[in-house]
Protein backbone atom coordinates (compact mmCIF):
# COMPACT_ATOMS: atom_id res chain seq x y z
CA UNK A 1 0.00 0.00 0.00
CA UNK A 2 1.36 3.40 -1.03
CA UNK A 3 0.48 6.16 1.41
CA UNK A 4 1.00 9.67 0.11
CA UNK A 5 2.56 12.04 2.60
CA UNK A 6 0.39 15.11 3.02
CA UNK A 7 2.23 18.41 2.99
CA UNK A 8 0.74 21.86 2.54
CA UNK A 9 -2.59 21.79 0.72
CA UNK A 10 -3.47 24.70 -1.56
CA UNK A 11 -5.71 25.42 -4.53
CA UNK A 12 -4.92 27.17 -7.81
CA UNK A 13 -6.50 30.51 -8.68
CA UNK A 14 -8.65 31.05 -11.79
CA UNK A 15 -5.50 31.23 -13.96
CA UNK A 16 -4.16 27.96 -12.55
CA UNK A 17 -1.48 29.71 -10.49
CA UNK A 18 -0.36 28.26 -7.18
CA UNK A 19 1.62 30.09 -4.50
CA UNK A 20 4.66 28.23 -3.20
CA UNK A 21 4.45 28.60 0.60
CA UNK A 22 7.08 30.86 2.18
CA UNK A 23 8.50 28.04 4.31
CA UNK A 24 9.30 26.04 1.15
CA UNK A 25 10.58 29.10 -0.77
CA UNK A 26 12.93 29.89 2.11
CA UNK A 27 14.17 26.31 2.37
CA UNK A 28 14.89 26.14 -1.38
CA UNK A 29 16.13 29.76 -1.58
CA UNK A 30 13.47 30.65 -4.18
CA UNK A 31 12.89 34.33 -4.91
CA UNK A 32 10.81 36.07 -7.58
CA UNK A 33 13.85 35.89 -9.87
CA UNK A 34 14.56 32.18 -9.41
CA UNK A 35 13.90 30.22 -12.62
CA UNK A 36 11.84 27.12 -11.92
CA UNK A 37 11.65 23.86 -13.85
CA UNK A 38 8.16 22.36 -14.00
CA UNK A 39 7.71 18.78 -15.15
CA UNK A 40 4.72 16.48 -15.38
CA UNK A 41 4.96 12.72 -15.18
CA UNK A 42 2.78 9.89 -13.96
CA UNK A 43 -0.01 12.29 -13.06
CA UNK A 44 2.20 14.44 -10.81
CA UNK A 45 3.60 17.94 -11.14
CA UNK A 46 7.18 18.47 -9.99
CA UNK A 47 8.65 21.94 -9.47
CA UNK A 48 12.32 22.55 -8.73
CA UNK A 49 14.70 25.49 -8.99
CA UNK A 50 16.63 25.33 -12.26
CA UNK A 51 19.93 25.28 -10.36
CA UNK A 52 18.97 21.92 -8.87
CA UNK A 53 17.95 20.60 -12.29
CA UNK A 54 21.20 21.72 -13.90
CA UNK A 55 23.20 19.80 -11.29
CA UNK A 56 21.51 16.59 -12.49
CA UNK A 57 23.19 16.91 -15.89
CA UNK A 58 26.66 15.43 -15.93
CA UNK A 59 27.97 17.14 -19.04
CA UNK A 60 27.72 20.48 -20.77
CA UNK A 61 26.32 18.63 -23.81
CA UNK A 62 23.41 17.20 -21.75
CA UNK A 63 22.69 20.63 -20.27
CA UNK A 64 22.69 22.29 -23.71
CA UNK A 65 20.32 19.58 -24.99
CA UNK A 66 17.91 20.37 -22.12
CA UNK A 67 18.06 24.09 -22.95
CA UNK A 68 17.42 23.34 -26.62
CA UNK A 69 14.33 21.28 -25.74
CA UNK A 70 12.82 24.13 -23.69
CA UNK A 71 13.87 27.01 -25.95
CA UNK A 72 11.11 29.19 -27.30
CA UNK A 73 8.42 28.36 -24.78
CA UNK A 74 7.47 32.06 -24.73
CA UNK A 75 8.68 32.97 -28.21
CA UNK A 76 6.35 35.21 -30.15
CA UNK A 77 4.40 36.42 -27.13
CA UNK A 78 3.40 40.07 -27.39
CA UNK A 79 4.02 41.08 -23.76
CA UNK A 80 2.80 44.69 -24.02
CA UNK A 81 -0.46 43.42 -25.55
CA UNK A 82 -0.78 40.74 -22.87
CA UNK A 83 -0.21 43.32 -20.12
CA UNK A 84 -2.81 45.68 -21.62
CA UNK A 85 -5.38 42.87 -21.79
CA UNK A 86 -4.64 41.81 -18.22
CA UNK A 87 -4.93 45.41 -16.97
CA UNK A 88 -8.24 45.87 -18.80
CA UNK A 89 -9.65 42.68 -17.23
CA UNK A 90 -8.45 43.70 -13.75
CA UNK A 91 -10.00 47.18 -14.03
CA UNK A 92 -13.31 45.74 -15.24
CA UNK A 93 -13.36 43.29 -12.31
CA UNK A 94 -12.61 46.10 -9.84
CA UNK A 95 -15.39 48.27 -11.28
CA UNK A 96 -17.83 45.36 -11.09
CA UNK A 97 -16.88 44.62 -7.48
CA UNK A 98 -17.29 48.28 -6.49
CA UNK A 99 -20.65 48.44 -8.23
CA UNK A 100 -21.89 45.28 -6.47
CA UNK A 101 -20.62 46.51 -3.14
Checking if the pLDDT of 83 tops 50, the result is yes
- Name the average pLDDT for the chain: 79
Checking if the pLDDT of 97 tops 70, the result is yes
Can you tell me the mean pLDDT for 27-55?
A: 82
Q: 48 with 36: CB under 8 angstroms?
A: yes
Domains in the chain, number: 1
The percentage of residues in the chain with a pLDDT greater than 70, rounded to a whole number, is 78
Q: What range defines the domain where residue 29 resides? A: 19-72
The verdict on residue 35 lying in a domain is yes
Can you tell me the mean pLDDT for 10-37?
A: 88
The CATH number for 58's domain is: 2.10.260
- Listed in sequence order, the residues at least 6 apart from 42 whose beta carbon sits closer than 8 Å to its beta carbon are none
Can you tell me the mean pLDDT for 48-73?
A: 70
Specify the pLDDT at position 56.
61
Provide the β-strand partners of residue 40: 45
Specify the pLDDT at position 1.
45
The distance from CA 24 to its chain's CA centroid, rounded to whole angstroms, is 14
Q: How many CB atoms lie within 10 A of CB 81?
A: 9
Amino acid sequence: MNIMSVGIITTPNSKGQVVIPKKIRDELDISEKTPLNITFSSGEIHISPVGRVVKRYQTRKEFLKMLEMTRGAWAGDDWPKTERKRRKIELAAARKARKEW
